Amino acid sequence: MIEALSGQPWLRPALDVARLAAFLGFVALGLAVARRPERRRVDRLIAYVMALSVAVGLTQVEAWPFTNWALVHSMAPSRMSSWEIEGLDATGRAWPVDARVLQPLAPEEFGSWMFARVPGLPEDARARVGRFLLDRAEAGRQRLVSGQPVGGNETLLGPLAAPFHFQQKPIWRAPSDVPAEPFVAVRVQVLEWDVETRRRDESQVTRRPLLRYPS
């Protein structure tokens, strides 16, 4: 019933005000603890957080940073898919490309777009996507070789830069992880696997091509 009410246009402003009040209360209690970390103030903050968390869980109405985690409500699928970019050098050897070369674009957002759009793109549009990936991969390779951060987000703050929501482990750590000569081509592959089978054997992954540039 509460979810149905929250969808009513007349109630949305009131919900927004309630969310703002809940957030300001959380901030105020947090600042109070930071100024004077007394047991009584800490207990108030814990009780406030627990009460709001329970309220959000019962009503299923989001009130950031208190969430009902709707993203993980359902059961995990038995089959999963992902993607990877590889750069090819002049000898034809394939090198995995670190997804940080896409920054400031989040890899998961780019991956979602690729899955949905690339298969139906005409050849000239696919070539533009491939050119973009090749340029990014090569620019990242050059930065790594010269001792600079691979991703643009790390240029100013380095390891203190804010991570993406779904952070991937760095693939490139040293110049030896990339070829000494420029990349001449890139290819994107879709990775598919059965969760239980891959749990028993990490190598049980099927790869199929999604994009190659130059084709």
Please give the average pLDDT of every successive group of 10 residues along the chain, which has 215 residues. Answer: 54 81 91 91 92 84 77 72 93 94 86 88 94 95 91 72 71 93 95 91 92 91
Q: 151 and 66 in one domain?
A: no
Q: 84 and 109 in one domain?
A: yes
Strands 94-96 and 185-194: unpaired
Q: 190 and 127 in one domain?
A: yes
Q: What is the torsional sign of CA 203, 108, 130, 122?
A: positive
Q: Does 64 reside within a domain?
A: yes
Residue 7 has φ and ψ, to the nearest 5°, of: -85, -5
Strand-pairing partners, residue 209, are: 189
Q: 117 and 203 in one domain?
A: yes
Q: Does 30 reside within a domain?
A: yes
Residue whose token pair is 């994107």: 188
The answer, as to whether pTM is greater than 0.75, is no
Q: 87 and 67 in one domain?
A: no
Q: 96 and 123 in one domain?
A: yes
Q: 85 and 24 in one domain?
A: no
Q: Which of 30, 47, 72 is the last residue of a domain?
A: 72
Residue 62 pLDDT: 78
Q: 196 and 148 in one domain?
A: yes
Helix H or strand E encompassing 83? strand 79-88
Q: Does 163 reside within a domain?
A: no
Report how many domains make up the chain: 2
Q: Which of 72, 102, 124 is the last residue of a domain?
A: 72
Please, are residues 6 and 61 in contact by the beta-carbon 8 Å criterion?
Answer: yes
Q: Does 121 reside within a domain?
A: yes
At CA 99, angle to CA 81 and CA 179, rounded to 5?
A: 115
Q: Does 27 reside within a domain?
A: yes
Cis peptide before 214 (omega within 30 of 0): yes
Alpha-carbon distance 92 to 213, whole Å? 13
Q: Does 123 reside within a domain?
A: yes
Q: 118 and 141 in one domain?
A: yes
Alpha-carbon distance 120 to 135, whole Å? 22
Residue 10 pLDDT: 64
Cis peptide before 179 (omega within 30 of 0): no
- Give the residue numbers spanning the domain of 96: 79-158+168-213
Q: 178 and 87 in one domain?
A: yes
Q: 83 and 68 in one domain?
A: no
Q: Which of 28, 49, 72 is the last residue of a domain?
A: 72
Helix H or strand E encompassing 94? strand 94-96
Q: 103 and 24 in one domain?
A: no
Q: Does 135 reside within a domain?
A: yes
